[in-house]
Amino acid sequence: MEGKQERHQTKPIRCIVKLGGAAITCKNELEKINEESLDIVSTQLRQAMISGPSPSTKGPGMDWSKRHGESEVFCTEDDFGEDAFVDSSRFVVVHGAGSFGHFQASKSGVHKGGLGQPLVKAGFVATRISVTSLNLEIVRALAREGIPSIGMSPFTCGWSTSERNIASADLSMVAKAIDSGFIPVLHGDAVLDELQGCSILSGDVIIRHLAAQLKPEYVVFLTDVLGVYDRPPVEPNAVLLREIAVHDDGSWDVVKPVLQNMTKVETTVAAHDTTGGMMTKITEAAMIARLGIDVYIVKAATSYSLRALSGELRGNIPDDWFGTVIRFMS
């Protein structure tokens, strides 16, 4: 299996970004994208990627598909000069499914395995149709911002699981895309499982594996809430955890604010979510932090998310930034 892990990527990665499903879709409406949030996220990604002096300058769009209300596609050679492209080769994007895929997977039990059952096999197909359609729309949104994004599905790239843990992850095409100046856009996916036939590979698990292999400078989780709270954020008196320290043994403590009698973080998971919700995020983020990579969990499409994406938060976290930082402390 060594060849499947082989990669030739040489360019250093600056940031891996997780677009949370709840942040870019309307999670309780089947297959509905939150267009406003996705547009802002795409703009902020472009601004964070541009290393030059004019992050507000938008490059030529790369979505040349026919769109509603337009009869032709316009693009000329003059639009694409040497300075037309953003410095996107140092970013990788992974997105969750939100209201795409989760419903199909939970209705058919894809996450539990059993491909021999007709309902599960049908659900596997339906889940992949749903998540790849979302992937296409996210790639299109990024492309409209002038970001040379390439959709990459874990299933078709050769990723598989064993009891829902990654068994094989071929990063060769991801590495080649990065070195060719593209931004890979991966997603949570239905994949084959060596023991139970099939499973759901969550975007958070993908992020952790990519971080271990690509070693980015930092990782940003964009969510639909400000960060991690000591209890479900909809509850009264919920406290935003500003900084979490991860230790050598994988355990973690809340550093800021100082809380009394807190033994665990309480979370809620939507009934149709087959990937574990916020607790999975914290667990995966802690594993990334153990590698010495800072992780920022922050609300998407806010001034706080732009600052996190741009790398402003290295070192001390400013008092006027709201989100959760998870970092290693020996």
Binding residues for ATP: 98, 224, 277, 281
Find, among 149, 159, 105, the residue nearest to 129 by Cα.
Answer: 105
Q: Which residues are annotated as a binding site?
A: 97-98, 102, 203, 224, 277, 281
Sorted by sequence, the CB contacts under 8 Å of residue 268 that are 6+ apart come out as 232, 234, 277, 278
Chain centroid to Cα 76, Å, comes to 33
Sorted by sequence, the CB contacts under 8 Å of residue 259 that are 6+ apart come out as 230, 239, 241
d(CA 316, CA 165): 34
Q: Between 118-144 and 35-49, two packed helices, what is the crossing angle to 10 degrees?
A: 60
161 Rama class: left (phi>0) / alpha (psi -120 to 50) / beta: beta
Strands 149-151 and 183-187: parallel
Largest CA distance in the chain: 63
Q: Do 191 and 201 touch, CB atoms closer than 8 A?
A: yes
Here the tokens at position 156 are 């078709």
Q: Which residues are annotated as a binding site for substrate?
A: 97, 102, 203
Q: Is 40 exposed, middle or buried (0-12, 13-18, 19+ CB in 10 A)?
A: middle
Here the tokens at position 56 are 């507000």
Here the tokens at position 9 are 């990527």
